């Protein structure tokens, strides 16, 4: 990966630790003034420790920003002469200033924050260190809009606690701990993972999986709590994006709405061309013969695209085409995977696909033939004749 210009955000952990130590001392000093004989001494101690705690937190949050060139080498990140890593986890998030921040972590101690101008730069850094490049830009962990809010959860928990007190008359004492399960249950029921792709939006929650293609979405609307996605069958998929906005520190703008609307608008404005339908279509061929023919189409050399009259740009376009049938998108991915030179670009294209079956086949197309055959068989089992069209719906 070539060098990416970014801003390295540095905070002073010593100031944070000082504030964390001084704050409890200040609170304890304030509480002890009403019992202590040395009132004046304890008051001075409380004042001084309070000032130290406040200064520590202000110093910590006032970060130092330096422009740097970031170069990724495997799971290591090189900034100048310094090397950080290995990176174990990380994600991206929008910022109130319109750019994106990238948080890279190497437990237990290293945590690095970079600010880059666009989401593409953030995705490039995450992908280069081997992480999910979609995290924070096209993959979000949200809540269903129908899930109880924080206030409602507190009220339900309070009511359950009062009910458990009355139940102690005829039930054991450990029933007092049952209300603690209410917030856990609300979190579990309301949690949903959302993946936004060029072809549609994929939802995964405790209730199952669902894929909504952009061609089936009537509109994308902003609501008071987040985003609403009306579909052609009359249903409305509503999301609460407050968790993501709070994590990003963005309230006026909604990065989830922006990602869904941008992908939906692009898909609606792009009509699917005729494309290589006759060559990629499965027809009456068996799965094995179909895969073999597609791999021959995508093979490099004299038997490649010139013989098949299919350009690689067309195939990449079919893989990400929201209007193309899923069978053709899977076929295009299989053909592209036959050429090892296309593997890096195909893996990147797979991250822009929300349909889980098409994405799995695209990733498997860059691996061995046995893994590819298994994924294609699974795709055909989901929806014969049109694999992955309603995967997990």
Domain layout of the chain by residue ranges: 4-137, 138-269, 277-382
Please report the pLDDT score of residue 381 as a whole number: 65
- Phi-psi map region of 208: left, alpha, beta (phi>0 left; psi -120 to 50 alpha): left
- Phi-psi map region of 294: left, alpha, beta (phi>0 left; psi -120 to 50 alpha): alpha
| Same fold for the pair 4-137 and 138-269 | yes
Please report the pLDDT score of residue 292 as a whole number: 82
Closest residue by Cα to residue 252 from 207, 294, 222, 292: 222
Report whether 350 contacts 371 (CB < 8 A). no
Please report the pLDDT score of residue 40 as a whole number: 66
Tokens of 180: 């603690």
CATH 2.30.29 holds for 4-137: yes
Beta strands in 88-207 (DSSP E): 89-94, 100-106, 110-116, 139-144, 191-196, 200-205
Please report the pLDDT score of residue 34 as a whole number: 57
Please report the pLDDT score of residue 39 as a whole number: 64
Q: What is the pTM of this model?
A: 0.74
Low-confidence stretches of the chain (pLDDT < 50) are 272, 274, 300-309, 383-393
Average pLDDT for the chain: 80
**Fold observed for domain 138-269:** PH-domain like (2.30.29)
Q: Match 């608008």 to its residue by tokens.
A: 265
């Amino acid at each position: 990966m070539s060098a990416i210009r970014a801003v390295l955000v540095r905070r002073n952990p010593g100031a944070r630790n000082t504030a964390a130590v001084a704050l409890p001392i200040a609170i304890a000093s304030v509480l002890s003034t009403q019992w202590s004989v040395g009132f004046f001494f304890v008051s001075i101690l409380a004042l001084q420790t309070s000032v130290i705690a406040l200064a520590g937190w202000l110093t910590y949050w006032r970060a130092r920003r330096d422009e740097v060139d970031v170069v990724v080498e495997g799971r290591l990140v090189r900034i100048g002469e310094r090397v950080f890593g290995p990176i174990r986890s990380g994600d991206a998030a929008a910022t109130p200033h319109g750019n994106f921040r990238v948080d890279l972590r190497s437990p237990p101690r290293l945590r690095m924050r970079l600010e880059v101008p666009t989401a593409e730069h953030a995705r490039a850094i995450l992908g280069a260190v081997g992480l999910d490049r979609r995290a924070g830009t096209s993959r979000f962990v949200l809540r269903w809009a129908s899930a109880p809010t924080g206030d409602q959860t507190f009220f339900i928990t309070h009511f359950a606690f009062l009910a458990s007190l009355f139940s102690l008359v005829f039930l054991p004492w450990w029933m007092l701990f049952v209300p603690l399960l209410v917030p856990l249950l609300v979190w579990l029921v309301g949690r949903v993972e959302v993946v936004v792709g060029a072809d549609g939006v994929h939802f995964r929650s405790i209730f199952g999986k669902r894929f909504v293609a952009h061609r089936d979405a009537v509109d994308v609307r902003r609501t008071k709590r987040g985003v609403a996605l009306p579909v052609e069958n009359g249903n409305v998929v509503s999301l609460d994006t407050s968790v993501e906005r709070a994590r990003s520190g963005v309230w006026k703008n909604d990065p989830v709405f922006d990602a869904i609307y941008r992908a939906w608008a692009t898909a609606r404005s792009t009509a699917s061309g005729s494309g290589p339908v006759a060559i990629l279509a499965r027809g009456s061929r068996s799965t094995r013969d179909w895969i073999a023919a597609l791999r021959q189409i995508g093979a490099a050399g004299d038997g490649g695209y010139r013989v098949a009259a299919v350009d690689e740009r067309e195939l990449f376009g079919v893989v990400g085409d929201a209007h193309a049938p899923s069978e053709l998108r899977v076929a295009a991915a299989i053909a592209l995977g036959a050429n090892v030179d296309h593997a890096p670009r195909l893996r990147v294209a797979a991250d822009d696909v929300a349909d889980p079956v098409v994405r799995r086949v695209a990733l498997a197309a860059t691996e061995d033939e046995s893994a590819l055959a298994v994924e294609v068989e699974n795709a055909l089992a989901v929806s014969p004749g049109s694999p992955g069209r309603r995967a997990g719906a």
